[in-house]
Structure 1
Amino acid sequence: MTIRPMKFTPEVLLGAPRRSPALPNAAGTLAVYTQTSYSFESHSKTNEIRVLEIATGRSALITNDPGASSPRWLDNTDQLVWLKEKANGNTSFIVGDAREADKTYTAGTVPGPVSDLKMTVIEPGKIGFAVTGKANADGSLFNPHDAKKPLSTGRVFTSLFVRHWDSYIEPQKNAIWYGVLQRTPLAPASRQAGKYSLSGLTNLIAVSGLAGVESPIPPFGGTGDFDLSPTAIVFVARDPEVSPATHTACACYYCPMFSWTGLSTAQQQEDVKIHRVSKLDGAMSSPVLSSDGGSLAVLVMQEDGYESDKNRIMYVPNPWNGELVEIFESPDGRGLWDLSPSAISFASDDQSLLIQVEETGRGVLYQLSLENFRRAIPKDLKKLTLSGYVNDVTPAAANSSKLFISSSSLVDNSTWTIIDPANPREVQLVSSNSRHGAAFGLSPHQVDETWFKGANDHPVHAWVVKPSNFKPGEKYPLAYLIHGGPQGAWNDQWSTRWNPAVFAEQGYVVITPNPTGSTGYGQDFTDAIKGSWGGLPYIDIQKGFEHIEKNLNYVDTSRAVALGASYGGFMVNWMQGHSLGRKFKALVTHDGIFNLTNALASEEQYFPLHDLEGPFWKKPENWDRWDPARFTQNWETPHLIIHNELDYRLPISDGLGAFNVLQMRGVESAFLTFPDENHWVLKPENSLVWHQTVLNWINKYVGLPPISKGNNFLADQQTEVDPGVAGLSLQ
């Protein structure tokens, strides 16, 4: 099927199919995944579970039930199980065959909403599973459909949090629940013979006697906060003894699953192993178990109260004796490896760890043998990927050394590949959702990178994204994008919220600097932003602009705009009050800080406490020094302010304050808000308005035409559709 040319617009970005990481079956022949898409013609969302035939790339629909999620393979068969949320809030476990999608049955139903299904084979025909869901104060599963509506909306709080991310704190807490899917014997013959049935749910945290413990960790915790094996479940949680608003300290809990092996659950309370690391007091993440549950690994930060401290890899050879070994430990406590892993897992043979980490603007996969784990050094790491951003890695088949990798890039929203760690340069492409960007009218040739000297002459990296119709010798206006965090980075990675290619296709050269404070360039570079919010990063960004002026002759810096969100919004507000702000024709701030004192109304107070080196009443000079509101007498560049009402991280008063100043000063300005969005704009129709408003604002000031409307991803696509996108049936 071939279709006519198209342009990569916000409608294309937001309407294109979004695929989850794919999970291969035991034979390595099929891979299951979820896919969502949105139609701006019907104003409706499609949710699908699909199966890909790895050898041919053909994709088949399993279900398009809007409540279906978390598909997993059952045992060593082509059978699947997934969760289905029902209208009454209950959740059913649905079993179906990957090659006969119409043959499904319900294995059981639990009385509330659950998600994040993970499974492990205890023995043939007996599958242990874990899910997550809210728990009532008595430990039972919470179902909001059963909750009685109070007569008053009043709430009284006596401790932090009051609200977190985009909601007020409720008495119900996250919990991990476990159970068993048991297959009925084939004989004697009956309607249920050979089918799986659900045992019910048990609250792991409650049965383990862990008072005050909540996991997954709010607000973004999920499957990455726990793992399971035939003999144990491991999970991480915030330390219940300290306030989560001012501390990041965590503990790792190893829970032997005696109920899966026939022993009493009472013994489980006695044998839960709590792993804390006395010299590492910070956050924990990515707990993983070996295939038999006999060892575990977890990422741990050193400093309590610092969410962007370096993750250290802790290996526990035997959870029962409590020994924890820090991989790459050094005598000075800094660690031999300067990078901060984001996720880890065991290889299928349990003899090595697979490590995902940000490195110079990419999401890289490494492998580390555990043969010499006590004396491991960074040189022992084997680099398995070179480009793009790895989102997930799993064995390509049961007991296989080959790896199935899900990744993305600046021009491709989903790529699946298979590599053999023995020869990682030979990459087998399984599927590219956009045919390496071609389905979006994009190409890897649009992407470049540049380095320049920042403050104190340290090297600073930036991505450069050009229009698809770029012509050498012509000059293009500059879109200078400032990332949030501030401990974050622009990476070779797809995004549906801040996608550089959307700006490039308007006719900009998009440049995304990673200044001081950015991640992936060594921990010292990340840490250097502490106490210097408007200092070193601002100088880096300023020097980056000078580098563009002097060295990139295809960029017209006399027609430049700057945009940023969160800390990036702070920096745009800071630039507005300083000399760099006069270099731009227009500015855009999304949910940015205007008045630093207002950060006292935020929820995670450990964030400003760390970065500003203390509380306001002890370090008022730091809070005052980097306050953008102090420089409003200089504000004069046209400025679009965006701020959402459900943003409790940076309250809407910051956006209103900035807009009020601009209006009172007579500066051309506009204010966009979404009452139903948080720190991000996630709803497709809202996001489309966001993109149209932002692009029309900046285009007006650099002489580009207003953004066009009405493009349709499915109708206006240019190239032959990838089978994984088209959704062909398996043959």
Structure 2
Amino acid sequence: MSNRSNSTGSSSKSQTAVELPISKETRVLNLKTGTSILFSKDPSDREVKWLGIEDDVIWLKDTASGATEVWVGDAAEREKRSYCAGKIASYAFHLKLKRLFNEHDDIAIAVACPTTSTGGMYTLKQGEDVVAEDEVTNAIWYTTLRKKPVTEDGTEARYIISPTKWANALRGTGLESPMPSPLGSMHDFDISSSGIVFLSKDTTGGSPNFPSINVYYIPLKTFTEVSRPRPQIIRVKDYEGRSSHPVFSPNGGSVAFLKKQHPIDQNDRNRIIVINRIRDFRAYVTVDDMPTQQSEKSWHLSPFTFSWSDNGTELYVVAVDHGIRRLFKIPAALSSIKKEPEPITSESNTPADVRHLRMVFSAPMEARP
């Protein structure tokens, strides 16, 4: 999937600036042929992702009332088969999906939504007064998609939002995720068959100038749990700096993220942290820094983003080396690294961000074992 937008306008001392509407397209790219087809040019369609079943995709659609609809359709033949799978009573963003492979073949779905101080979804309705900013925060909401028959003979089935509706993962915790801009991003949380990991400011530590940002883990199996598990903070021994970019491995058994060692040193490097057997996680975690054969124990570069390989055995890491963004491949078992990683991209052909690779890695999801 790719998004493309264009806008034009002109201004000078003798002219009035004219702002024209922004046009936006979502296209389906065939990586083998290099050709693409138009999927949507509706500006209300957002965040189109592969659902993982044949050519099905899922996306968010804005409504005039401020709510968000969840739509499912065929990537190649949207007009022939597309439908609304459910509705979210707020503006939703940062759509995340994970196939659970349970008896119903449910798909876990999570989004971020503006949330009131009482833990409900916030939508500004017509005629209502605006709620004070300190009464609205971001929170992660989750539920499942389940395929159900829509015809009497059962020949046609559609994915429908679970009747258990949406659950606020952060209700009553005092935590906020995704964090407000400029700190927040789409990489502030991730989901898997093991639950949810997310970034949030530590309400008990840090300072206004150097807030402590940590990774938290919420264990989930069905994403329909009646009682919501409390988030567990992932603390790493001897590492007190900011955490960033938490991502589950493809099978959900491990979590990788970036973390600084020093809480206030702005020049400190990011380190890659991998937590294995995340379901067994307890309290503090002791990790080994990435060993090399260099005089310096740690890798001298500072990664700023990464992605898991399809099989979960390697990490593709982007780091700046001598002013150039380069892509590296390292084993996910960090203790097995015996020498300093070498780049796998040249100076003339370096991706701006590993998210370009994630687009390929994530489409479509794995098949049922």
Separation in structure 2 between the aligned mates of residue 108 and residue 47 of structure 1, nearest angstrom? 24
Does the C-alpha gap of structure 1 residues 308 and 107 become closer, same or farther in structure 2, counting only changes over 3 Å? farther
Does the C-alpha gap of structure 1 residues 33 and 218 become closer, same or farther in structure 2, counting only changes over 3 Å? same
Does the C-alpha gap of structure 1 residues 139 and 329 become closer, same or farther in structure 2, counting only changes over 3 Å? farther
Does the C-alpha gap of structure 1 residues 352 and 108 become closer, same or farther in structure 2, counting only changes over 3 Å? same
Alignment equivalent of 1:110, drawn from 75, 78, 88: 88
Structure 1 residue 345, shift from structure 2 partner: 2.3
Structure 1 residue 149, shift from structure 2 partner: 2.0
Does the C-alpha gap of structure 1 residues 317 and 146 become closer, same or farther in structure 2, counting only changes over 3 Å? farther
Alignment equivalent of 1:266, drawn from 194, 210, 227: 227
| Preserved contact between residue 118 and residue 223 of structure 1 (Cα < 8 Å) | no
Structure 1 residue 251, shift from structure 2 partner: 1.8
Partner of 1:349: 311
Kindly report which structure 2 residues correspond to 1:193-232, keeping only aligned pairs within 5 A, or say none: 193-199=156-162, 200-206=165-171, 209=172, 211-220=173-182, 221-232=184-195
1:384 lines up with 2:344 in the alignment: yes
Describe the superposition over 1:213-248 as per-residue Cα deviations: whole angstroms up to 9, x where unpaired. Answer: 111122142321111112211111111124663223
SS for the counterpart of 1:170 is: helix
Separation in structure 2 between the aligned mates of residue 268 and residue 120 of structure 1, nearest angstrom? 19
**Gapped regions of structure 1 (runs ≥ 5):** 1-31, 156-168, 401-731
Q: Return the letter of the residue paired with 1:203.
A: N
Partner of 1:35: 4
Partner of 1:130: 110
Does the C-alpha gap of structure 1 residues 375 and 97 become closer, same or farther in structure 2, counting only changes over 3 Å? closer
1:79 lines up with 2:59 in the alignment: no
Separation in structure 1 between the aligned mates of residue 82 and residue 34 of structure 2, nearest angstrom? 24
Separation in structure 2 between the aligned mates of residue 299 and residue 71 of structure 1, nearest angstrom? 27
1:279 lines up with 2:241 in the alignment: no
Partner of 1:184: 148
Alignment equivalent of 1:366, drawn from 301, 316, 328: 328
Describe the superposition over 1:127-176 as per-residue Cα deviations: whole angstroms up to 9, x where unpaired. Answer: 111111111001111113368326xx9x8xxxxxxxxxxxxx53211111
Alignment equivalent of 1:69, drawn from 41, 46, 63: 46
Does the C-alpha gap of structure 1 residues 329 and 205 become closer, same or farther in structure 2, counting only changes over 3 Å? farther
1:145 lines up with 2:144 in the alignment: no
SS for the counterpart of 2:46 is: strand
Separation in structure 1 between the aligned mates of residue 297 and residue 201 of structure 2, nearest angstrom? 24
Describe the superposition over 1:275-316 as per-residue Cα deviations: whole angstroms up to 9, x where unpaired. Answer: 012421121111011122211111011222345531111111
Does the C-alpha gap of structure 1 residues 225 and 329 become closer, same or farther in structure 2, counting only changes over 3 Å? farther
Separation in structure 2 between the aligned mates of residue 138 and residue 274 of structure 1, nearest angstrom? 23
Kindly report which structure 2 residues correspond to 1:508-657, keeping only aligned pairs within 5 A, or say none: none
Q: Return the letter of the residue paired with 2:158.
A: K
| Preserved contact between residue 239 and residue 250 of structure 1 (Cα < 8 Å) | yes
| Preserved contact between residue 236 and residue 287 of structure 2 (Cα < 8 Å) | no
Alignment equivalent of 1:172, drawn from 136, 141, 164: 136
TM score, norm. by length of structure 1 = 0.44
Separation in structure 2 between the aligned mates of residue 397 and residue 347 of structure 1, nearest angstrom? 7
1:251 lines up with 2:214 in the alignment: yes
Does the C-alpha gap of structure 1 residues 324 and 246 become closer, same or farther in structure 2, counting only changes over 3 Å? same
Separation in structure 1 between the aligned mates of residue 138 and residue 127 of structure 2, nearest angstrom? 16
| Preserved contact between residue 126 and residue 183 of structure 1 (Cα < 8 Å) | yes
| Preserved contact between residue 337 and residue 378 of structure 1 (Cα < 8 Å) | no
| Preserved contact between residue 248 and residue 282 of structure 1 (Cα < 8 Å) | no
Q: Return the letter of the residue paired with 1:82.
A: W
Partner of 2:14: none
Kindly report which structure 2 residues correspond to 1:227-246, keeping only aligned pairs within 5 A, or say none: 227-242=190-205, 245-246=208-209
| Preserved contact between residue 238 and residue 244 of structure 1 (Cα < 8 Å) | no
Separation in structure 2 between the aligned mates of residue 339 and residue 147 of structure 1, nearest angstrom? 53
Kindly report which structure 2 residues correspond to 1:314-353, keeping only aligned pairs within 5 A, or say none: 314-319=273-278, 320-322=280-282, 323-328=285-290, 335-353=297-315
Separation in structure 2 between the aligned mates of residue 115 and residue 53 of structure 1, nearest angstrom? 26
Structure 1 residue 398, shift from structure 2 partner: 7.2
SS for the counterpart of 1:298 is: strand
Structure 1 residue 71, shift from structure 2 partner: 0.7
Does the C-alpha gap of structure 1 residues 147 and 321 become closer, same or farther in structure 2, counting only changes over 3 Å? farther
**Gapped regions of structure 2 (runs ≥ 5):** 11-18, 365-369
Q: How many residues align?
A: 340
Q: Return the letter of the residue paired with 1:46.
A: S
| Preserved contact between residue 37 and residue 45 of structure 1 (Cα < 8 Å) | yes
Does the C-alpha gap of structure 1 residues 308 and 219 become closer, same or farther in structure 2, counting only changes over 3 Å? farther
Separation in structure 2 between the aligned mates of residue 399 and residue 329 of structure 1, nearest angstrom? 33
Separation in structure 2 between the aligned mates of residue 82 and residue 62 of structure 1, nearest angstrom? 11
| Preserved contact between residue 176 and residue 215 of structure 1 (Cα < 8 Å) | yes
Larger relative contact order (Cα-Cα within 8 Å, sequence gap ≥ 6): 1
Alignment equivalent of 2:66, drawn from 67, 84, 89: 89
Q: Return the letter of the residue paired with 1:195.
A: R
Separation in structure 2 between the aligned mates of residue 348 and residue 187 of structure 1, nearest angstrom? 37
Partner of 1:417: none
SS for the counterpart of 2:250 is: coil
TM score, norm. by length of structure 2 = 0.83
Does the C-alpha gap of structure 1 residues 115 and 321 become closer, same or farther in structure 2, counting only changes over 3 Å? closer
Does the C-alpha gap of structure 1 residues 97 and 354 become closer, same or farther in structure 2, counting only changes over 3 Å? same
Does the C-alpha gap of structure 1 residues 71 and 318 become closer, same or farther in structure 2, counting only changes over 3 Å? same
SS for the counterpart of 2:352 is: strand
Separation in structure 2 between the aligned mates of residue 308 and residue 133 of structure 1, nearest angstrom? 33
SS for the counterpart of 1:184 is: strand
1:47 lines up with 2:47 in the alignment: no
Alignment equivalent of 1:394, drawn from 343, 354, 358: 358
More helix per residue:
1
Partner of 1:471: none
| Preserved contact between residue 362 and residue 389 of structure 1 (Cα < 8 Å) | no
Structure 1 residue 397, shift from structure 2 partner: 5.8
Does the C-alpha gap of structure 1 residues 39 and 348 become closer, same or farther in structure 2, counting only changes over 3 Å? same
Partner of 2:16: none
1:305 lines up with 2:264 in the alignment: yes
